[in-house]
Structures are given as C-alpha cells and as structure tokens.
Chain A
Amino acid sequence: MTAAPDVASSAATLVCRVEDLTPDLGVAALVGGEQVAIFLLGDGSVHCVQNLDPFSGAYVLSRGITGSRGEVPTIASPLYKQVFSLVDGTCLVTMDKSPKPGHAPDLVVHTVRLDNGAVWIDLAGDR
C-alpha cells in the first residue's frame, strides 16, 4: 500500500493530499465516475474501498466509524452497522442481515498509492 510509487505506469487517479485527510475519518471521492471511500488511520496507513454500502444500497461508507476487530482495521456502515475489513473488504459482522439483491456482502478494495503526500487511487488494481 505504501510501496514505491509507480504512478506513471498505472491508470491511477490523483484524488487529494494526505493533509486533506483527518486521522481515523473517511472521505468520499469520485474516481472515473465511481464513488470510493478513503480512510487515513492513526498509524498513517491509507485505505480505499467502495463507497457503496451493500446492505443499504446507499453510498455512505466514507461516513462510517473506523476501528478494529482483533488486529484487522475496520469500517462500520453508518446505516445498519455492518463491519467490514479495510484490508480485504470482507464483511466481518452482518448484523444478521443480507445484502441488497445484486450486491455481494464483501467490499471491493482499491489500490492506494502515496507519492510525496499525494493520494492516488488505482481502480485497475481492484481486489
């Protein structure tokens, strides 16, 4: 995630600077028309997942609460409180609910590249 920047050779988009982010809070960004949620954590790492909450169908994950389950950094949906891993997008707590039809419970994780304080998101590197 904080590997050597390889910006030139990728289809990455510059979205903001690390200073634009507040520790433990998220922001939403538009990358090629797609909504993503970006989080700066207390340890300085930056994570990016889809902004769409699969359990409500609303684009709200950037406004959730960050935290941890065991060692895994997480984001909790502000609507129905499902908890997702920020590392691999796995839905860790479903609150006994199913995602909206047509949505998988797990989140798509986007690749983040940091380059001299610039935050780049690369949709091509999705996991």
Chain B
Amino acid sequence: MTTERIVVVGGGMVAHRFTEALRARDAEGRFSVEVLAEEPRAPYDRVALTSYFKGASPEDLHLGDPALWHDPLVTLHRDTRATGIDRDRQVVEVEGGREFGYDHLVLATGSYAWTPPTAGSELPGVFVYRTLDDVAALRHYVQERREKLGRTVRGAVIGGGLLGLEAAGALQELGATSTVIQFADRLMNLQVDEGGGEALKRLIENLGVTVRCSTATQEIKAGKDGHVGSLLFADGAEQLCDVVVFATGVRPRDELGKESGLEMGARGGVVVDDTCLTADPAVSAIGEVACIQGACIGLIAPGNTMAEIAVDRLLGGASTFPGADTAAKLKLLGVDVASFGDAFATTPGALEMVYADPVNGVYKKLVLTDDASTLLGGILVGDASAYASLRPMVGAHLPGDPAGWLLPEGAIERPNVDLPDEAGVCSCNNVSAGSIRGAVNDHDCHDLGAVKACTKAGTSCGSCLPLVKKIMATELEKSGIEVSNALCEHFSISRAQLFNAIKVSELTTFTEIIDRFGTGRGCDICKPTVGSILASLYNEHVLAGDRAALQDTNDRMMANMQKDGTYSVVPRIPGGEITPEGLITIGEVARDFGLYTKITGGQRIDMFGARLEELPKIWKRLVDEGFESGHAYGKSLRTVKSCVGSTWCRYGVQDSVGMAIALELRYRGLRSPHKLKLGVSGCARECAEARGKDVGVIATDNGWNVYVGGNGGFTPVHAQLLVEDVSDEEVFRVIDRYLMYYIRTADRLQRTAPWQQDHEGGLDRIREIVVDDSLGLGEELDAHMSRHIDTYEDEWKAVLSDPVRLRQFASFVNAPDQPDPSLAYVEQRGQRRPATPAERENGPVLIAPTTLEVRS
C-alpha cells in the first residue's frame, strides 16, 4: 500500500499534537508525515517557557514521548524554514531550495511576537518572549549586563497581559527588578475585569514588581554605551532600565498562506472552515495561524482541538470545531488567575456575583443567568481553587447557593456537584467527565496515573487533576473497589493500623516488626514510618539500637540535607525569643564555618552549607553555648511562632511569648506522622498567624482560644476553633490529647488539616474524643504525653558524647575529614551559595567556604 504524504509546516505544540494524534489513530499507516520546523529542536512546551528560568533544561520542556520522532512514518526536519507553497504542483519550498511534495498540507506556523513600532526598539537589550532562543538570549543578556554594570539589572516589560506577567516573573527569576508597563487601564484586560485587575495589581506589586497602567511607551533611549538605558513615556516621564521585553501580543505567521493566494481573515490568519480546511481541499490550517469562525486564537487548548479535528477528517471522521473555550487558569508569579465563560457578563440580563477581599488579595466573580440558576462564566484572582469544579459547569444549572463558590473555603459548604458525562474536565486535552468514568469502569484504571495515561486528562497544565481525582474516587467507591491503604509493598496495612500493632505487640526493632507484620527488607517508605512510630511510642534516641538505618538522611544526620548534599543547621529558639548573646553565638558559629544564614519562617535562624563531617564540630559549639536541636529535620514539632504579646505590645491581652515558649518546650522532639507547627497570638489581631498552624492559640480577655488543623503550604487551610476561653492548664491538656490522638491515628505524611477533614465525624467528633473524652482515651493520651515530656533529651547533646554514633559523621570511611571534592560555591550578596552547573563549567568557583573553621 502506498502512503499519502502529509507535510506539516511548523514545529510547535500544535504540530506535535497533530503528528501524535495521527500516529496514534492511523493504525494502518495510511499517512506519512514530514514536519518542517524552523527552530533547531523538536517541538517543546512553549507554555512552560518560564520554567526555563527556574533551572529547567530544554529537555525538561519536551512534549510527549520522544519516540514519536523515531517513528518510521514520521520525519522531523529541524532548522528548516518553509519559504513558499506551490499549490498547483503541491510542493512546499524551503530555504536552500529543497522541495517537499505533499498530498495534504497542514499549516501550523503559529504566531510571531508582535511589537508596536517604537523608536529605539532595535537597540541591544530589547527582547521578545516567544521561543526558547528568545528566553536563552534574554537570560544571557541579563547575566552579562549584571557583570558589566556591577549592580542589579533593571528590567521593564512592555505589555501587561498574560505573557507580560510571565516575562516579568522571568526577569525576577533572573535576579533583575521588573516593571510592567501596560497601555490598558488594568493588567490582563482580556481576561479580567476592573475589580480583578485591581486585585491582581496589588498581588503582583506585593511580589516586588512595579506596575504602571494606562501608560504608553514613546521611545526606548540608549544609555552611554549604546545599550538600552531608559524608557520615555507619552506623559513625559522617564524610567531607567537596562533590558526591555516586549510582550505586546502575537500575530499569525500567515505569509505562506497569503503568498500562495489562500483567503486571509480581516485581522490576518488563514481562513478555514469548521473542519480546519482552507478553500483548497489539499490544505488545512490549525492552531494560531488559522482564522477559524472569524478569529485567530492564541491558546493551546483550541489549537490542540483543531489538530485533533484535522486528523479526524483525514481519517474520514466528521468532527467539527465546537468553538473555542477561551477559559484559562494560570499561575503568574505564584498568583492564581482564572477566567472562563462569559467573564465580562455580556449575556443580556446576566447577573454578577462578586466577592472581594483586598486584605488577602482575593477577587472572585461568578456570572449567572438572570434567575441566578445557570453559570455563565467567572473570574478568579488570588484563589482559583474553585476553577476545576466551576469551569465544566458553564452552561449548566448550579446547584445550591452560588455564594459557596465565592466565600473562602469552609465558610459555608460548597454544593456537591455531580458533573454530567458530557461536561469537559480537561480543556487542554478535551477530556469529558464521561471519559474519566469510562477509564475507571471499563478500562480498570484504579489510580490517578492510570487514568492520566488512559485519557490524557491532566497531562498538560494539570489544573484539572484535583477534579479528575475526585471523579475517579467517586467511581471507585460506587463500584465498591477499595482504595488500597497499604503503606508500601512491605506492609499491607496503613500507618494507623501499624501504630496499633507495634504498640500492642511491644516490639521495638524493625527486624522483629517486619517479620511479624510485613514482608521483605523494607524500603524508604516503611522504614522511616516505623522509625517515627517507635520514636512516638518510646521517645528513645532516633539513632538508638538499629534505628539509624530506619531514618531518612535528615533524621539520621540530625540536619536538613540541601540540594548539593550539604546540610543546614537550625538550633532551637523557643517562641522566637533570643538573647543578644545567643544571636552573637549563632553569628560566630556561622562566620567561623562560613555558613550561609537566613531567617526562617518559624522565627529562627537557619545556617546552610555545613558538610557532613562538620556537623559534630558545629553542634559542639552550639551545645556548649546552651543551644539544643531545633528538630528542623524531623517529622516532629518544628516551632511555636509568637507575637510579642502583652509584655510589650499595647494591644496584647496575654503573654503570648511565655505561652509559646512553654508549648515549644513541652512538645519539642515529639515525633509525629508529619511536621507540626504551632502559633500563639497575644490578641485577636493574630499577628502570629496562628490559624495557619496545626495548632493556633489566640489570647482572649478571659484566657485562650485553641484552633486546630490549620495549614500553610500547598493547600492553605485556616485552623478551626476547638475550645474557647480556656486557662493555661486547659490549653496544655487539650493540645496534649489532640496531638497524641493525631499521632496515633493519622496516615503517613498526613498533616493535621486533611486528617481532621477525613476523620469520621470531622472536628466535632475529634472534640468529643479529646475534650469530652467520649472514648475514655483521655487518661492514656495524657500519660503518653507526660512520658514524652519527662523523657525528653537533646538528641545532639546525646550524640556528641557517644563516639560510636559520631562515626557516621565521617565524609569518607577511608578519609573521615576530607571534604566532598565535588562541592563548589559562588558568592552572592556577601555569602556563598552552591554554584549552578553553568557556573561550574564556565567560571572559576569557590571550592571551600570563604572562611574555614578557625577554632576547634
């Protein structure tokens, strides 16, 4: 059988999707594909371009399975720019004169970065933000200017849309300052309304980016050395800057279509019908270059849809373009922004329901039909957690009180949504709720990885994954499939069950425990779990008996391993209160060992860059001066953060520092399923942010309120009120029991917030158990905690007096004091940091710390 030849002009994401889909669906091998890519590399994830600045390599941006390009029916021609199309002869001409004949031609040439005509835009130091080469050149230039100028580079981004904010983030990643200059009256004016724009501006300014809206740039002026020096605005103002990035939109790369006589859209783009076909039946156009339903669309999801349609049509299918879903959810500079459906409420009679919290930088708006029953669209800035659930509901009846989607999580219950099968869940890959259900029920996909592989849902931007997981779990539950709670391949029971088993059996070594309750030799999951359970139960030293081999390196070395294999050291500073002498000691130790110092979020001081063999010497100094381990490395109590409280503060009503120190000394060294953080505030102003902690204690006029189950991090949750207006003793008793009950029943690595949420009966049930003692467990929990408090010893002090345990701090068994020769550092802002791979290759690097230890 002879194959039909398809030529794809363009090597971007849509070209990749077209090729991937064709090869996946054309099982008979009817078609061969030649992809003509202008860039010197295979298609990459342009949406993730900014991650390049966070240290991603070009390989990290690869799309899909690289084996696609080795398929015998696929040929990728890199560095190959098409220069013309002869539609009569059905050939594409490329630079250098070579010709590619086609049976069907697919134009996927994408867009180019458009820059408004501006005087000075040809100066060195002016960039656009579109390709890997663009961002590589920008990175190189910023580094070069920094060295040349000997100061922080000043960056400016012209354009305050999606790409402009990406570019501003990139400049910040590169260590430059950034100013965003926006011609419109607000940021992201295509996606968000005025209120959303305001919230976004505040959030972004908080991150150190300067924002100038309603500003037209008149001229880019050169500095003395001929490079970019400043920007002149239409209102006469001038701003110094060293590098300018244009992010003023894109225009379709439609010149091939135009020159070959294909019809052009009014604002550019190759006109196609709903099947992505041009007037020439042998030519299709997909992605940003296609003018479909009257417009070019610069988003990846509709581009992928067009690619799928073009493939379907070639294979004899009948699919048509359903209209672009311009919904978008982005994380720009760490700020969530989402916009979907009729975000600007253009539907006649549409109602807008708005929630704005300027203090926390949250703005949310739902657009509803005039009877407030059907969702039309919305805008979410600062907190887009509802996006995954809401976007598929556009056009559908919204059950319950819509306010549940706007108010902070937990304020009122969110309506439970059962999505219709046809509702789209993953818009990047066009996967419906029905296909996910099908994968679970008909294709035996019983974990998230299998569902992802089967449906492709969540494999691009990933924002729908929480929803995918929820749908999967619901289906599994319906069909009675139990989600395994096995710890790992060695233990088929959960952590909570193992905790009880170990407690009841009174076994104290890993070998006995795995022989009795598990199989094999254990692994990096069950060993630390058993180590933690034994530590919680008996409070013996983490390195006692055969325990050293159970601990993660952090617990084993009693320090936090950093990316280059060195450690950071954190002495305990209870409640964040420290004497000047204490500060001097820490300063001297850090100076003498050349450690990088940084204040932590938990009100203490972290010292980085300590080599394994230096740890005992560093701790000898600290212990001699009265410091003890801060357990920053442990799944255990970290810190108790406090505000200054009634002793100094004119608003404080209780001594929050005193309470924080008492709590920190009470629970120090307590091993738990995950790290524990506490906070104490001296009045209702809550300066210690205690409600973001596992346990938050907040002063009242009559005593203390205790809140539990708060969490910062990836999924922030406010702690909820457990007891009100209680005395100091009651604070201790309630927290003792709450923590001990959590330690006994939580899953491995489950923080208090999800534990509390998943606990049967929720917080009310937990309150019955720990406050009202409904299970009669109180006494046992109290006794367990007082045993912990009574037997506490400083882990580091104990190790320093034990020559056997000290032996593990040798760098090499045959050269115990020789530093790891691979370590390399460079200086930054007066301290050292690990050298990047590029710095290791290019420049001279500082091998040893600036100051070596001078005292022993």
- How far is B531's CA from A65's CA once the two chains are assembled, in angstroms? 12
- How far is B490's CA from A58's CA once the two chains are assembled, in angstroms? 29
Q: A28-B813, A38-B813, A101-B57 are in contact. Are A78 and B553 (CB under 8 A)?
A: yes
Q: How many residues of B contact A (CB 8 A)?
A: 41
Q: Is A98 an interface residue (CB 8 A)?
A: yes
63-99 of chain A: CB within 8 A of chain B: 63-70, 73-74, 76, 78-79, 81, 83, 98
Q: Which residue of chain A has its CB nearest to the CB of B810?
A: A27
Interface class of chain B by DSSP: loop
Q: Name the contact of A23 in the complex, choosing from B546, B556, B810, B837 (C-beta under 8 A).
A: B546
Chain A proximity of B373: nearest CB distance (Å):
42
B563 contacts A79, CB within 8 Å? yes
Q: Is B59 an interface residue (CB 8 A)?
A: yes
B524 contacts A58, CB within 8 Å? no
Q: Name the contact of A64 in the complex, choosing from B524, B550, B813 (C-beta under 8 A).
A: B524
B813 contacts A29, CB within 8 Å? yes
Q: Which residues of A contact B59 (CB under 8 A)?
A: 98, 101
Chain B proximity of A58: nearest CB distance (Å):
4
Q: A23-B546, A59-B822, A63-B557 are in contact. Are A76 and B523 (CB under 8 A)?
A: yes
Chain A proximity of B505: nearest CB distance (Å):
20
9-57 of chain A: CB within 8 A of chain B: 15-16, 20-25, 27-30, 33, 35, 38, 41-42, 52, 56-57
B556 contacts A58, CB within 8 Å? no
Q: Which residue of chain B has its CB nearest to the CB of A20?
A: B813
B812 contacts A29, CB within 8 Å? yes
Q: Which residues of B contact A123 (CB under 8 A)?
A: none
Q: A15-B814, A25-B549 are in contact. Are A42 and B521 (CB under 8 A)?
A: yes
Q: Is A60 an interface residue (CB 8 A)?
A: yes
Kindly name the residue among A22, A65, A69 whose own CB sees the greatest number of chain B CB atoms within 10 A.
Answer: A65
- How far is B523's CA from A73's CA once the two chains are assembled, in angstroms? 9
A66 contacts B813, CB within 8 Å? no
Q: A35-B822, A79-B561 are in contact. Are A74 and B523 (CB under 8 A)?
A: yes
Q: A24-B546, A58-B565 are in contact. Are A78 and B812 (CB under 8 A)?
A: no
B523 contacts A30, CB within 8 Å? no
Q: How many residues of A contact B (CB 8 A)?
A: 41
Q: Which residues of A contact B808 (CB under 8 A)?
A: 22, 25
B521 contacts A67, CB within 8 Å? yes
Q: Which residue of chain A has its CB nearest to the CB of B840?
A: A57
- Could you give, for residues 522-543 of chain B, a 1 whenever the CB lies within 8 Å of some chain A CB and a 0 otherwise? 1110111000000000000000
Chain B proximity of A124: nearest CB distance (Å):
18
Q: Which residue of chain B has its CB nearest to the CB of A36?
A: B812
- How far is B552's CA from A69's CA once the two chains are assembled, in angstroms? 18
Kindly name the residue among B520, B813, B821 whose own CB sees the greatest number of chain A CB atoms within 10 A.
Answer: B813
B812 contacts A25, CB within 8 Å? no
Q: Which residues of A contact B521 (CB under 8 A)?
A: 24, 41-42, 66-68, 73
Q: Is B701 an interface residue (CB 8 A)?
A: no
- How far is B527's CA from A21's CA once the two chains are assembled, in angstroms? 19
Q: Which residues of B contact A16 (CB under 8 A)?
A: 813-814
Q: Which residues of B contact A66 (CB under 8 A)?
A: 521, 549
Chain A proximity of B427: nearest CB distance (Å):
23
Q: Is B811 an interface residue (CB 8 A)?
A: yes
Q: Name the contact of B812 in the complex, choosing from A28, A69, A81 (C-beta under 8 A).
A: A28
Q: Which residue of chain A has its CB nearest to the CB of B520?
A: A68
- Could you give, for residues 546-572 of chain B, a 1 whenever the CB lies within 8 Å of some chain A CB and a 0 otherwise? 101111111011000101110000000
B565 contacts A83, CB within 8 Å? no
- Could you give, for residues 499-532 of chain B, a 1 whenever the CB lies within 8 Å of some chain A CB and a 0 otherwise? 0000000000001000000001111101110000
Q: Name the contact of B561 in the complex, choosing from A24, A35, A60, A67 (C-beta under 8 A).
A: A60
- How far is B724's CA from A105's CA once the two chains are assembled, in angstroms? 55
Q: Which residues of A contact B524 (CB under 8 A)?
A: 64-65, 67, 76, 81, 83
- How far is B566's CA from A56's CA once the two chains are assembled, in angstroms? 13
Q: Which residues of B contact A69 (CB under 8 A)?
A: 489, 523
Chain B proximity of A51: nearest CB distance (Å):
9
Q: Is B820 an interface residue (CB 8 A)?
A: yes
Chain B proximity of A9: nearest CB distance (Å):
22
Q: Is B83 an interface residue (CB 8 A)?
A: no
B814 contacts A65, CB within 8 Å? no
Q: Is B584 an interface residue (CB 8 A)?
A: no
Kindly name the residue among B528, B612, B814 whose own CB sees the greatest number of chain A CB atoms within 10 A.
Answer: B814
A42 contacts B561, CB within 8 Å? no
Q: Is B147 an interface residue (CB 8 A)?
A: no
- How far is B549's CA from A15's CA once the two chains are assembled, in angstroms? 21
Q: Is B481 an interface residue (CB 8 A)?
A: no
B549 contacts A35, CB within 8 Å? no
Q: Is B818 an interface residue (CB 8 A)?
A: yes
Q: A25-B548, A74-B523, A78-B553 are in contact. Are A58 and B813 (CB under 8 A)?
A: no
- Could you give, for residues 94-110 of chain A, a 1 whenever the CB lies within 8 Å of some chain B CB and a 0 otherwise? 00001011000000000
Q: Name the contact of B811 in the complex, choosing from A28, A73, A74 (C-beta under 8 A).
A: A28
Q: Name the contact of B527 in the complex, choosing from A28, A65, A78 (C-beta under 8 A).
A: A65
Chain B proximity of A17: nearest CB distance (Å):
9
Q: Is B149 an interface residue (CB 8 A)?
A: no
Q: Which residues of B contact A27 (CB under 8 A)?
A: 810, 812-813
Chain A proximity of B811: nearest CB distance (Å):
7
Q: Which residues of A contact B612 (CB under 8 A)?
A: 63
Q: A29-B814, A67-B524 are in contact. Are A42 and B564 (CB under 8 A)?
A: no
- How far is B59's CA from A98's CA once the two chains are assembled, in angstroms? 9
B565 contacts A59, CB within 8 Å? yes
Q: A29-B812, A79-B561 are in contact. Are A67 and B522 (CB under 8 A)?
A: yes
A58 contacts B549, CB within 8 Å? no
Q: Is B103 an interface residue (CB 8 A)?
A: no
B813 contacts A24, CB within 8 Å? no
Known: A29-B812, A98-B59, A101-B57. 15 other contacts (CB 8 A): A22-B548, A22-B549, A22-B808, A24-B521, A28-B811, A29-B813, A60-B561, A63-B557, A65-B527, A65-B528, A66-B521, A68-B520, A76-B524, A78-B561, A83-B523
Give 5 CB contacts A-B under 8 Å. A15-B813, A25-B548, A27-B812, A58-B565, A70-B520
A: which residues have CB within 8 A of B?
15-16, 20-25, 27-30, 33, 35, 38, 41-42, 52, 56-60, 63-70, 73-74, 76, 78-79, 81, 83, 98, 100-101
B: which residues have CB within 8 A of A?
57, 59-60, 489-490, 511, 520-524, 526-528, 546, 548-554, 556-557, 561, 563-565, 612, 808, 810-815, 818, 820-822, 837
